Amino acid sequence: MASRARIIDQDLGWRKIKRALERSRDATVVTVGVHEDAASRKDGDGISGVVLAAVHEFGRRDGSIPERSFIRSTIDDNARKYSALTKNMLLRIMRSGMTSHHALGLLGARVVADIKRRIQQGIAPDIQEATKQRKGSSKPLIDTAQLLRSITHVVRRRGT
C-alpha cells in the first residue's frame, strides 16, 4: 500500500491580507484640497476659500483669470511618488498594525505640503503688472495667504 503524502497548509500572510481587505469594506478615504469648512472663511472681498480655489484651479470662463492648477498639477506631477507611498503604507498596515486612518493622514499631509510648496514656488502664468503693483508681490496665488491656509486634508469613512 502506498503511503499518503502529508499536505501542510502554510499561511504566508494571505489570511492577514484577507482580513485587512474585509475591513476595508467600510473604507476610509482621504480628500485633499479646499474643503467645505473653508466656505465660511471669506477674504477681504467676501470670496470664500472654496470659490477662490476653484477660480484659480480652473480659471474663469471669460479668461480674466487664467487657469493656475495647483491641486491637479501637483497630484499629476507626483503620481508615482504617491503610488509608492501608498504601497509603503499598505505594507505598514499589514506588518505593523498601522491603522488605515493614520496611513491616509500621512498621505494627505504629504500631498498638502506638496501643493503648498508648489504655490510658494510660483505657478505659471505670471500675473499682470497691475496685479503685482496692487499686491506688492509677483507670486501668483499668494496675496493674503487665504488660499494656502485653506488647503487641508480630511480622513473620513467613505459615505460620510
CB 107 within 8 A of CB 86: yes
| Mean residue pLDDT across the chain | 82
Distances (CA, A) of 57 to 70, 88, 114, 124, 134: 6, 30, 15, 12, 21
Per-domain residue ranges for the chain? 27-157
Contact criterion met (CB below 8 Å) for 25 and 144: no
The predicted-structure confidence for 9-56, as pLDDT tens digits, reads as follows 676 677 776 776 666 556 788 999 998 765 455 655 677 778 889 998
Are the beta carbons of 142 and 132 closer than 8 angstroms? Answer: no
| Burial (0-12, 13-18, 19+ Cβ within 10 Å), 103 | buried
Residue 22 grid coordinates: 474585509
| Closest C-alpha to 23, from 158, 153, 129 | 158
Quote the pLDDT of residue 34: 92
CA contacts within 13 A on the Cβ side of 50: 6
Average pLDDT on 67-91 reads 92
CA atoms within 13 A on the CB side of 1: 2
Rounded CA-CA distance 133/131 in Å is: 5
The C-alpha cell at 53 is 480655489
The β-bridge partners of 151 are 34
The pLDDT assigned to 133 comes to 74
Top pLDDT among 132 and 150 is at: 150
pLDDT at 150 over 70: yes
What are the CA-CA distances from residue 48 to residues 18, 39, 40, 126 (Å)? 44, 5, 6, 23
